[in-house]
Amino acid sequence: MRSMTENELTDVVVERYRATPDARLQEILLSLIRHAHAFVRDVRLTETEWMKGVEFLTATGHMCDDKRQEMILLSDNLGISALVNMVSAGVPEGATETTVLGPFYVPNSPQRAWGESILLRDSDEIPLIVHGRVVDEDGTPLPGAGIEVWQTDSNGMYDIQDSSQPEDNLRGHYTANEEGRFLIRSIRPTSYPIPTDGPVGVLLRATNRHPFRPAHLHAIVTAPGHQPLTTHLFDAEDKYLDSDVVFAVKESLIRKFTKNEDPGAAERFGLSGPFWELDNDFVLSKARS
C-alpha cells in the first residue's frame, strides 16, 4: 500500500464517516472533518501544539459542573455562540432580536408579582423600573406572556457565583397582564468581567483581551403560538458596547436608561424618589410550524 498525501487522508476519513445514517449528523461530521483537517494543514500544527490544545480542552472540561460551564464560556469567547445565534435566529423584521443565553441562566427561578423587586437584599441604590408590553409582530398585546429576567448584582456577580447573595437574587419570572403589560423592579445593571480563574482566563490573558461584558438585563420572553425569545437589553451608556468579550451586542438591543425625577411618576410605580426607567416592548414572532 502506497502512503497517502495529506489531502488523500482527509478524503479517506470523510469516506469512512459517509455511512452515518442520520443525514444531518452526516452533513455536520463530514464538514467538521474537512474544516478541522484544513486547519491543521493551514497552520502546519505540530504534535506538541496539538497536545497543548488537548490539555487546554481537558482543563476546560474539568472546570465544568452544575454551576460552572467553562465549555460554553469558551464557545462564547471564540464568538461561536454569537455566530450560532446569528445563523439560526431568523427573527423576522420588526421582532425583537435574540442573543446568547450565557452560562448564568438558572431554570425555575421564582415567580414575581407585578412590580415586585428581584433585588432580594437591602439597598439604598436608585431603583430601576423596566416596563412595557409583550406584543406580536402586528402590535397586538400578548396577555399572560412570560418574562423571565436575570442580571448581576452591583458587585458584577450573579447569585450563583457569589455565596453572599440570597438565592435567586436578581432573577425571576413576571407575567404580562391582560393588556400585555409588565412591570419589573430591579437596580441598574453594571458591566462585569466574565470568570477568568479557568482556562478561558488563560486564553484571554494570552491574547491581550479584556474580560468585560457591557451592562445588560437578560430576558426570556414566551407566549403560546410564538417563538420563545432569548435576549438582552444593553445599557446605551456602557463603555464596553463595542468590545463585548463574547461578541453578543446587537445594535437593536441597546436601550437608554433615563433618570425619572418626577414625584408623581415615582408614586405611580410605588416608589418614593427618583428612579431609573426603561420603557421597552418585547416583540415576539409567530411560532414556526
Which amino acid would we find at residue 150? W
- C-alpha cell belonging to residue 8: 488523500
Contact yes or no for 253/232 (Cβ under 8 A): yes
Name which position in 134, 147, 194, 278 contacts ligand BEZ (CB under 6 A). Answer: 194
From the list 37-45, 96-104, 111-119, 167-175, the region that binds ligand BEZ by CB under 6 A is: 96-104
The H or E element spanning position 143 is none
Would you give the binding string for ligand BEZ spanning residues 225-264, x where CB under 6 A is met? ---------------------x------------------
Residue environment code for 205-220, b if the CB has 16+ CB neighbours within 10 A, otherwise e: eeeeeebbbbbbbbbb
**Pairing relationship of beta strands 127-136 and 229-235 according to DSSP bridges:** unpaired
Contact status: 153 vs ligand BEZ (CB under 6 A): no
* Residue corresponding to grid cell 463530514: 30
Which of the 8 DSSP states describes residue 67? Answer: S
Helix, strand, coil distribution of the chain in percent, nearest 5: 30, 20, 45
Contact status: 82 vs ligand BEZ (CB under 6 A): no
Name which position in 60, 104, 141, 215 contacts ligand BEZ (CB under 6 A). Answer: 104
Contact status: 63 vs ligand BEZ (CB under 6 A): no
CB of 21 to ligand BEZ, least distance (A): 35
Q: Taking the CB of residue 280, how many other CB atoms lie within 10 A of it?
A: 16
Name which position in 133, 185, 213, 226 contacts ligand BEZ (CB under 6 A). Answer: 213
Instruction: Pick the closer one to ligand BEZ by CB: 76 or 159.
Output: 76
Instruction: Pick the closer one to ligand BEZ by CB: 103 or 141.
Output: 103
Residues that bind ligand BEZ (CB under 6 A): 73, 76, 100, 102-104, 194, 213, 246
